């Protein structure tokens, strides 16, 4: 087997298109995951069981079914009910929804790690619930949850190739397209593998830097 640099050069336009889609899916999926995860956490802490039970049932169902099954359901089943979205939109929402059930547990652990004295101080000062959460509890909880949330960002990155199953041409999808057109498999797949390693490493460095700044 010989390495063909000309195949790498020919693959690069495909690679940049795939990289753009991958990063877009990762950024939007992370945003949805973090937002929904926090919403699930706050809803699960409400005193009303008629809110907690449905939220708990939904999140347990999502967490315990494969992402691929959820992806197929959203992309192939929902259109039969009149709900049709683009492949990328469907993929981004599926990743965000799936991982929100994990970030939910991260937020829960972070909130429970806030010292009880902080809650008592807010109560003694007669702070309203909204201010207690957003001025006292959540700022402290966020500092504790950055590392595990960062791990899920990297996990979402590594799950983006699954979007190829619903025709989204992220990095691996572009590598497959190029390979089918040019009958060159080694070079594009290797480039994609290296790209995932580099992006994951850079993301971990960024997260460690952010963690150190928050701990100060």
Q: Could you read off the pLDDT tens digit of each residue along the chain, which spans 216 residues?
A: 577 888 889 999 999 999 999 999 999 999 999 999 999 998 998 888 888 899 999 999 999 999 999 999 999 999 999 888 999 999 999 999 999 999 999 998 888 877 777 777 777 777 777 777 777 777 778 778 888 888 899 999 999 999 999 999 999 999 999 999 988 889 999 999 999 999 999 988 888 887 777 666
pLDDT of residue 123: 73
pLDDT of residue 125: 74
pLDDT of residue 215: 62
pTM of the model: 0.89
| End-to-end Cα distance, the chain | 52
pLDDT of residue 76: 94
pLDDT of residue 106: 92
pLDDT of residue 216: 60
pLDDT of residue 124: 77
pLDDT of residue 208: 82
Distances (CA, A) of 59 to 28, 53, 74: 20, 10, 16
pLDDT of residue 74: 94
Report which DSSP code applies to 28: H
pLDDT of residue 142: 79
Query: Any idea of the CA torsion for 34, 94, 173, 85, to the nearest 10 degrees?
Result: -120
Whole-number Å distance between alpha carbons of 43 and 37: 10
């Amino acid at each position: 087997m010989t390495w063909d640099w000309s195949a790498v050069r020919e693959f690069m336009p495909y690679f940049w298109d795939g990289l753009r889609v991958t990063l877009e899916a990762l950024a939007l999926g992370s945003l949805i995951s973090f937002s929904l995860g926090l919403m699930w956490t706050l809803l699960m802490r409400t005193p009303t069981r008629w809110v907690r039970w449905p939220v708990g049932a939904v999140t347990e169902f999502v967490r315990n079914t494969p992402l691929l099954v959820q992806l197929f359901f959203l992309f192939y089943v929902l259109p039969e009910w009149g709900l049709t979205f683009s492949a990328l939109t469907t993929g981004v929402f599926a990743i965000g929804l799936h991982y929100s059930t994990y970030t939910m547990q991260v937020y829960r652990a972070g909130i429970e790690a806030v010292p009880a004295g902080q809650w008592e101080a807010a109560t003694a000062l007669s702070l309203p619930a909204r201010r207690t959460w957003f001025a006292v509890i959540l700022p402290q909880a966020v500092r504790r949850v950055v590392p595990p949330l960062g791990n899920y960002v990297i996990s979402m990155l590594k799950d983006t190739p699954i979007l190829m199953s619903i025709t989204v041409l992220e990095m691996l999808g572009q590598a497959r397209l190029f390979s089918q057109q040019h009958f060159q498999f080694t070079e594009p797949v290797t480039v994609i593998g290296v790209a995932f390693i580099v992006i994951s490493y850079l993301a971990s460095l960024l997260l460690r830097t952010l963690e150190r700044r928050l701990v100060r």
